[in-house]
């Protein structure tokens, strides 16, 4: 049984029209996203940060998963065991058909909204991915989740306030300088500790954060393939057993078709 780990970053959503963080198209209103996605920016100007996140949410809603997202979802169905760790806060992997149970959003989910002080959370009811959720099922929702929907007065302007403690609500993502979510980190660690992986694919990320390189190396620790898919060199490149210097939407379908053909039929 072949165990597979895939790690993705913003480059995988680039071909769906979603700007990357550090690429030339990453700036928003001439503001550096790296400076906007911080607790300090939110404290300084919560309204500006919310404007940025609303524009990003809308851009994601208008986008479609691309061939890279679809290829990764196909690999998940054919591998013996599979986990995707994505740094992306969009829902394109999920909309390409990858099950939530096989995915860890290590930097959070842009469609979630949470209180900046207490643990009250709200989930923006998003036309694409949450319309199958029973809208009247609030009672069935986890007690800490209420659903906003853009139609019925969700936080479509201004800065929403917590209905519990009246503090500012914020996007449910990880900002610079903030710790990774414990539950998600534990899911990655338990997958890595259970066994090594025969195939590790790292696609569309600058591998800026040490934990990304650490997870990729530990997963491929017993001679597994470590494949990097990125037109540019990264700090991970020197560890890769294979470098694919092409866009993910071009390279991943071809690469994954070949991998799937070689996988033992489970
Ligand atoms: P970056 O913007 O740092 O890097 C995007 C990477 O994708 C670069 O290495 C590009 O060369 C590559 N790339 C661009 N187009 C591509 C394509 N079509 N196919 C394949 N690769 C392509 O984005 P991330 O590496 O995801 O964290 O950034 C990591 C984290 O830094 C983000 O999750 C965010 C940011 O701070 C938080 O917000 C906490």
C-beta 10 within 6 A of ligand 1: yes
Lowest mean pLDDT among 102-111, 131-140, 237-246: 131-140
The pLDDT of residue 221 is 95
pLDDT, one tens digit per residue, over 15-60 is: 999 988 887 777 677 778 878 899 999 999 999 999 999 999 999 9
Q: Rounded distance, CA 34 to CA 146, Å?
A: 29
Please tell me the predicted confidence (pLDDT) of residue 263: 80
- Mean pLDDT throughout 144-166? 64
Q: Which domains does the chain have, with CATH numbers?
A: 1-18+64-107+180-266 (3.40.50.1220), 26-62+108-173 (3.30.1600.10)
Mutate to test the pocket of ligand 1, among 12, 13, 17, 23 (most ligand atoms within 8 A of CB): 23
**Residue 230 CB–ligand 1 contact under 6 Å:** yes
pLDDT at 149: 44
How far, in Å, from the CA of 23 to the mean position of ligand 1? Answer: 8
Taking CA atoms only, the protein residue closest to ligand 1 atom 11 is 232
Q: What is the pLDDT of residue 227?
A: 98
Tens of pLDDT, residues 134-143: 333 333 333 3
Across the chain, mean pLDDT equals: 87
Antiparallel, parallel or unpaired: β 3-8 and 108-115: unpaired
Query: From the CA of 248, how far away is ligand 1's center (Å)?
Result: 12
Tens digit of each residue's pLDDT (9 = 90 or more) over 13-25: 999 999 888 877 7
Q: Which of 93, 107, 119, 183 is catalytic?
A: 107
Global pTM reads 0.89
99-116 burial code (b ≥16 CB/10 A, e <16)? eeebbbbbbbbbbbbbbb
- Lowest mean pLDDT segment, chosen from 45-59, 127-141, 197-211, 251-265: 127-141
Q: Is 93 a catalytic residue?
A: no
Average pLDDT over residues 106-118: 94
């Amino acid at each position: 049984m072949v165990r597979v780990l895939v790690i993705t970053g913003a480059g995988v959503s680039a071909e769906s029209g979603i700007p990357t963080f550090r690429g030339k198209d990453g700036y928003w209103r001439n503001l550096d996203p790296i400076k906007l996605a911080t607790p300090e920016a939110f404290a300084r100007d919560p309204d500006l940060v919310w404007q940025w996140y609303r524009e990003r949410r809308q851009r994601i809603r208008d986008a479609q998963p691309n061939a890279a997202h679809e290829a990764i979802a196909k690999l998940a169905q054919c591998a013996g065991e599979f986990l995707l760790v994505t740094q992306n806060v969009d829902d394109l992997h999920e909309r390409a058909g990858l099950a939530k149970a096989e995915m860890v959003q290590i930097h959070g989910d842009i469609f979630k909204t949470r209180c900046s002080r207490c643990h009250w959370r709200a989930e923006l009811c998003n036309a694409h991915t949450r319309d199958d959720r029973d809208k009247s099922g609030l009672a069935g929702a986890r007690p800490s989740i209420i659903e906003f929907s853009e139609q019925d007065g969700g936080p479509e302007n201004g800065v929403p306030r917590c209905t519990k403690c009246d503090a500012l609500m914020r996007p449910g993502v990880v900002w610079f300088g903030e710790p990774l979510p414990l539950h998600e980190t534990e899911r990655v660690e338990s997958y890595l500790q259970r066994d090594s992986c025969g195939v590790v694919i790292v696609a569309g990320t600058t591998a800026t954060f040490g934990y990304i390189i650490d997870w990729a190396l530990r997963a491929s620790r017993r001679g597994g393939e470590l494949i990097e898919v990125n037109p540019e060199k990264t700090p991970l490149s020197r560890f890769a057993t294979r470098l694919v210097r092409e866009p993910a939407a071009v390279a991943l379908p071809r690469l994954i078709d070949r991998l799937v053909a070689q996988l033992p039929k489970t």
